[in-house]
Every structure is written in structure tokens, then in C-alpha cells.
Amino acid sequence: MLIPLISQNSDHGFNSEAHALKGLMARLRDDTGHEAGEVLAALHDDAALKAWREDFSHALDIQARKRREDRFKYPSVPMVVKTLTQGPPANPPDLQALVAQHLRALRDELAYGPTDGYTTFWNVDRYGRPTAPRPENDCRDRILDHLRPILIRQGVNAEPEGHYARDKRSDIKVLFGSYNLPVEIKRHYHSDLWVAPRAQLKKLYIQDPGTGGRGIYLVLWFGRKKKVRGVPRPPAGIHLPRSAEELEHALKQNTDEQDRVAIDVIVFDCSG
């Protein structure tokens, strides 16, 4: 354990341990370095500091915002012109916007195109009829098959199982120069559906300096069919979604307001 145990029954404002802990928390919060983020995340998860978890969550939020502000670089005029003419991204927000744009175009093509492209995410019977959703990794690979050729034309690469700190891996890692963008993928019935933006993207991946604090959360909606599990119970105040559009709205509603720009939420309608 990194610091002394703080009793859940102690008064945070009137004991020396609490005062020391608050001082440590403030120093880590104001340090936008990667190591400080790692320590804050470890303290947040320390079972002995459960009573302070909300404070550490708040400190992580502030640190992530400061990191984005510190590392944001305004592009030069030539870089802006290149980006506007379908050139390479000028910074992490550009990279996020570029990938999100292509994912939304792919979403519309698969859902509404003339070839029933949504079936690429399903196992099918001998008549080509969907029977059950494909495993998550298979779905990811099919998305990459569509995404890679488009991105490569702009000098951007995308790879599966992107490595991040503490041996964690995002489903897709998009790479351009010193920038990278994590994309986390979930099927709509995954048990971590509602917590993945914070517990995975924010806590594990976008702490990486190359992300500029940006990421994409991509969810695959397979509909309300008999052989498909339903959406896990949503958090309090969120209505149970009954369509891909409602699910995307609910996931955005469940994301902290300050994270809605940093984490782009996109839902593919694979229900047919």
C-alpha cells in the first residue's frame, strides 16, 4: 500500500492522515505526467481507500482535463488546409474526428446499404440467415477490414489489440505519427456496457500521452431478438434502450459531461 490506511469512519478534515492524503492527491492531480496518472489510478483502486474513491475519481477527471489542455497544440495554417482537403490529421482531436467520421459512414452503409452488410457481424445458416452474433473479436476484425483501406490512403494505420500501460489492450489502436487513438468495442449485451467508457477508455487507455485524452467507444446493437441477450440494467435515471439510436443516446447521457468530447460514442445497428 502506498500510504497509511484511512479509516472509513474517520473525519476527512480533522486527522493528520487525511490531511496528508489530500495533499498527495492534490500534487498528483496537478501533475499531468503519465506516472502521476498511474499512481492516481492505483490509489483509486486500493480497497483500503474505498472511502476516498469518489475523491480520487474527481482527481482523475481534473488531471485528464489538464493533460488534454497541456498537450493540445494548435495546428499551423498549412496543416489545417491539409486536414480540410482530406489530408492527414494535425493533432489527436483531428485523428479522433477522422476515425469517427469513417466509422459513422461505415455504420450507415452496413445498416442501410443495398447488400445487407449488417450480416457481416452475424453467424448465418446455410441459407444466409442470421442465427447468432459473431464473437467480439470477429466483429472487430470485420470493422478493421473496412476501416484500414480508407485510413491508409491518409497515412493512418489501425491495428487490433493495441498495447497500453499495465499490459492493457484496446480492441483497436489507430496510429498516426506520435498520435494514437484507442477504440473500445462492446456488443450491446456485454456486462461492462455501461462502465467501459470510464473503466477502460478513460482509466486505462486515454491516459497515454499520444492520445491527447481522446478515444472512441463503439457498441454493436443486435436488436431485441429471442436468441440475443438483452441490454444490462442501465444506471439509475437512464431508460432501458429499445433501439440503436436510443442506446447511443443513453450511453452519451451516462457519460460525464466533461468526457463527452474526449470519448466519442458510436452505436452500429446490426439488427437488420
* Residue whose grid cell is 499520444: 210
What is the rounded radius of gyration, in angstroms, for the C-alpha atoms of the chain?
21
Task: Give residue-wise pLDDT tens across range 18-59.
Answer: 777 888 888 888 887 777 777 878 888 888 787 788 888 778
Question: What is the pLDDT, as a whole number, of residue 50?
Answer: 79
Q: Which residues contact 181 (CB under 8 A, 6 or more apart)?
A: 92, 95, 96, 99, 173, 174, 211, 214, 215, 216
Helix/strand/coil for 34 = helix
Of 198, 150, 206, 202, whose CA–CA distance to 173 is shortest? 206
Here the cell at position 168 is: 492493457
**Residues 223, 268: contact at Cβ < 8 Å?**
no
* Residue whose grid cell is 487513438: 181
**Alpha carbon distances (Å) from 16 to 21, 23, 27, 176, 207:** 9, 11, 17, 47, 31
**Alpha carbon distances (Å) from 132 to 50, 82, 135, 266:** 40, 43, 9, 22
| Residues of the chain where predicted confidence (pLDDT) is lower than 70 | 1-15, 68-87
Q: Which domains, from first to last, does the chain contain?
A: 16-71 (no CATH), 80-269 (3.40.1350)
Helix/strand/coil for 133 = strand
Question: What is the pLDDT, as a whole number, of residue 272?
Answer: 80
E strand segments, the chain: 122-124, 130-133, 157-164, 168-176, 179-187, 215-221, 263-269
pTM tops 0.95: no
For 207-234, letters b (16+ CB in 10 Å) and e give bbbbbbbbbbbbbbbbbeeeebeebeeb
Q: What is the distance between the alpha carbons of residues 44 and 56, in angstroms, rounded to a whole number?
A: 5
Q: What is the distance between the alpha carbons of residues 74 and 67, in angstroms, rounded to a whole number?
A: 15
Here the cell at position 158 is: 489501425
**Alpha carbon distances (Å) from 60 to 83, 120, 127, 128:** 32, 38, 51, 48
* Residue whose grid cell is 467480439: 136
∠ CA 187-262-217, nearest 5°, is 10
Amino acid at site 250: A
